[in-house]
Structure 1
Amino acid sequence: MAQEVRGVIARGKGDPVRVETIFVPDPGPGEAVVKIQACGVCHTDLHYREGGINDEFPFLLGHEAAGVVESVGDGVTEVAPGDFVILNWRAVCGQCRACLRGRPWYCFNTHNAKQKMTLTDGTELSPALGIGAFAEKTLVAAGQCTKVDPAAAPAAAGLLGCGVMAGLGAAINTGQVGRGDTVAVIGCGGVGNAAVAGARLAGAAKIIAVDLSDAKLEQAKALGATHTVNSSSTDAVEAIRSLTGGFGADVVIDAVGRPETYRQAFYARDLAGTVVLVGVPTPEMKLELPLLDVFGRGGALKSSWYGDCLPSRDFPMLIDLYLQGRLDLDAFVSETIALDGVEEAFHRMEKGEVLRSVVLL
């Protein structure tokens, strides 16, 4: 029997989102219904509203979420009703070429719920990243539910579902930051500051945060940056080099995703260093670099998908670190809002006023 709940809907490109009644079906085989407790407002949700992902409107937005499993369908063994879970958009299949080669964090065939949630007139909804968690309840594939310690605050835990995990993973998993490394992070929004926190967790000796905003740089210092560079008045590449003995950083993370910032990252790394792109470019962006420089500087140029995370491995570990006081996830929660506050939260996010607004249900 389908349940009626409230959810945040984007009906058309650029239209303000609004709260509407939706129908959530009972879970089928391999599916779960989750009662949402908290969901972060991510740039990806705004991209959906603006038609930047695809045009499969209407969208049920929201994906950085934590909640409690309410019911499961046939064949579900990984979670049970009552489990506190973080939702993820990488439910690994176990059968694709990446999974079979022992690299499930690259799974090329992740799956979502087979059934569709709908509006009251029967119109099928496209859930953001296969989740759709700006809602009182949502239907997902059971593999999208990762069980974690219920002592964690939902508002903080849910952020591991996307942006914070992307930044932490860019440093720890993709960049493979090691003890004593020098790290630079360009762009200190939610993802960039999570990369700062990840570099600190990994034991980096020097962490250089770069941004145009002094307020964001102060947040980066609180999360582990040892040095800050305001690139509105200082050449970022020269500053990073001067702070690393003239060599450049071992790992440079571009959390902005623009050609200008990528070039900064490329030239701010040491010889044989690593560049990690975790900021998401737009389709029209082009990058031009001298091929001789790409060859001559050596090292690695990497892109980080979802922080190259494996939710079943990384989410419980990071929640444990949070509960031990070693990872301050609460610092990323700038404000908590109601379900009808998402449109205004988009505006604050665009102005750079928040790391994360979090919907509490």
Structure 2
Amino acid sequence: MTAEDVAAQLARERALKQAEKMETIGRLTGAIAQQFNELLGAILARTAALARSLPPNRDLDELKDTAQRGAELVQRLLGFSRHRVLDLQPLILTEFVREALDTLRRQLPANIEVQFEADEDAGVVEADPAAVKQILLHLVTNARDAMRQGGTLHVEVRRARLGAADRPLHAWVEPGSYVSVALSDTGVGMDAQTLARVFEPFFTTKPVGVGTGLGMAMAYGLVKQHRGYLHLYSEVGQGTTAKAYFPAVRDRGMSELEAAADEGLPGGTETILLVEDDQTMRLAAQQLLSKVGYRVVTAVDGQQGLDAFRAHRADLQLVITDVVMPKLSGFDM
């Protein structure tokens, strides 16, 4: 056995130990959070009943607010322990992250520059949009707090493939195609001891009263609930990279469209209006057309398609529409 083999074996053992630790913490946290959720639910119900039967009471209002804050904290713990109910939808992650960053930029100070790079054909994932936004929020917030003096936040969306060779990083990785979202900051970085605990609930290096220590734990739990992986690379003084992997989907609609592309779909730079009420087919067609160079404007029904046509009339060279749709059919449009 070579020195490289020994190093790889040790890395796998560390990854497995870390994964087992996080799994144990997750189960314990979830069990406790479920119990508290029931208790706080009962307190809030009784408080609401008292509020209806009594005149306005400041103490009662404060009790309700305190219980509500406790309930919100419990929801975060449930997010970490993967007990949150997800509304899974097909998402073109490149577009989703680009749009989310437009909002998240407003939460960053002027001395932090945001850079964005992506594979336009990185792929479609099945994910909960609200959960992915929350993951991005926690990762951006963590990067911001690491760059108190300013710096650069570099965001990348890439197509990735994970296999057995990645197990030193992800002990239980399922081999296959993924879409990765990486956020790299030029902040203070973390030492090995901090890095080993960064996903633990309530662990924080921030001053008392600043943050809850749940942000990275929630991000970890939500990514894991999507059957994905979240990994951090960090060095003191060199910054941190958080990389989340989401499984890429390959549904029937996507496979058929990709087969059409393999047969030689002609590319171009024209603008196309795509009207399709089925979200999976719309996203798949949009990704394919964008991949070969077209600019695509989308609409989810005939009425929205008509509005989009009027708004982009001067730029459109082609309209692709489904026939049977709500509100207004393709023929009527």
Query: Which one has more relative contact order, counting CA pairs under 8 Å at least 6 apart?
Result: 1
Determine which structure has the larger helix proportion and give its number.
Answer: 2
Smaller-chain TM-score range?
under 0.3
